[in-house]
Amino acid sequence: MACQLKTLLMLLVFLLISNLQHCVNGRPQVPCLFIFGDSLSDNGNNNNLVTMAKVNYQPYGIDFPAGPTGRFTNGRNIGDIIAELLGFENYIPAFATAPKGFEILRGVNYASGSAGIRNESGQHLTLYRYGARKVVLYGLGQLGSIPAVLSLCGIISSSCEDSLNKVVQLFNDRLISLVADLNKNLWKAKFILVNTTSMEYASSTFQGSTVTNASCCELLGFGQFQCSPSGYVCHNRSQYMFWDAVHPTEAAYEFYMGRAYRAQSPTDAYPFDISYLAKL
């Protein structure tokens, strides 16, 4: 009897492990993931470009297994976390690493630090022509409230934070009607908009503890955005919203992307969240 029970227990443990393996190795919720964006998703595309916007040096990547890879944060970034949430086994490779063959069919990350809104990058209709049917857009964050701007605003005027956030809101409000139009006019395509502002309002506590809006790392200098290669780095990084003067920490990205994937407030994503989009 005891022996039988032991066998059963071992069997259960085995099944659990094989189920877990099945989860990890299972098919992702969507066949492929293509990432377009700026430094919030860049995973090394800028490393060999002639640009100031590159961060393949310490302390960037201090919490990333491969160290400083060109990700503009301490650990995983938006593109990495969303790939994980969608069940991909690996992160989506950077365009700069020249993915080949079948690898390309699974997705490519084209994000490049300091990329901006330009006519040349307004490619959503082209993407549609190539077969993209599920598109996630991210609204702008409260640019007036990032450490880089706050320190400059301190010198300029106390209302510059608010006026910058108002401009962000104007832009985001127009995105709603853009998404509504695209959903109406592009046959069988579904677009959603992630409302970063909605999450920022809820962000002063996450993971059950109070967080600060200050930068975690010591900056290159006043008015500089990036971490100093030899500077101080905060230890309790999960209690910081910002890694450097511009970019959120991995902990903040987890908070934002968790809510983008599964909304916790009706304003987090419009018209629905990423988990719902993936199932359509």
Ligand X SMILES: *[C@@H]1O[C@H](CO)[C@@H](O)[C@H](O)[C@H]1NC(C)=O
Active site residues: 39, 244, 247
32 contacts: CB under 8 Å, gap ≥ 6: 105, 106, 107
Judged by CB under 6 A, which stretch of 17-25, 65-73, 91-99, 190-198 contacts ligand X?
190-198
Place of tokens 């377009």: 36
β-sheet bridge partners, residue 205:
210
DSSP string of 245-269, one letter each residue: SSSBPHHHHHHHHHHHHS-SSTTSE
- Pick the stretch among 34-42, 44-52, 149-157, 191-199 that binds ligand X (CB under 6 A): 191-199
- Asked if 210 touches ligand X (CB under 6 A), the answer is yes
Dihedral of CA 144/272/35/86: which sign? positive
Question: Of 118-147, which residues contact ligand X (CB under 6 A)?
Answer: 119, 142, 145
Residue range at the interface with ligand X (CB under 6 A); choices 14-22, 27-35, 195-203, 253-261: 195-203
Residue 40 in the binding site for ligand X (CB under 6 A): no
Is 200 a binding residue for ligand X by CB under 6 A? The answer is yes
Residue 74 or 109 with smaller CB distance to ligand X: 74
CB of 176 to ligand X, least distance (A): 4
C-beta of residue 172 within 8 angstroms of C-beta of residue 114: no
Site for ligand X in 216-245 (CB under 6 A): 235-236, 239
CB of 88 closer than 8 Å to CB of 28: yes
Out of 96, 211, 246, 252, the only residue in the binding site for ligand X (CB under 6 A) is 211
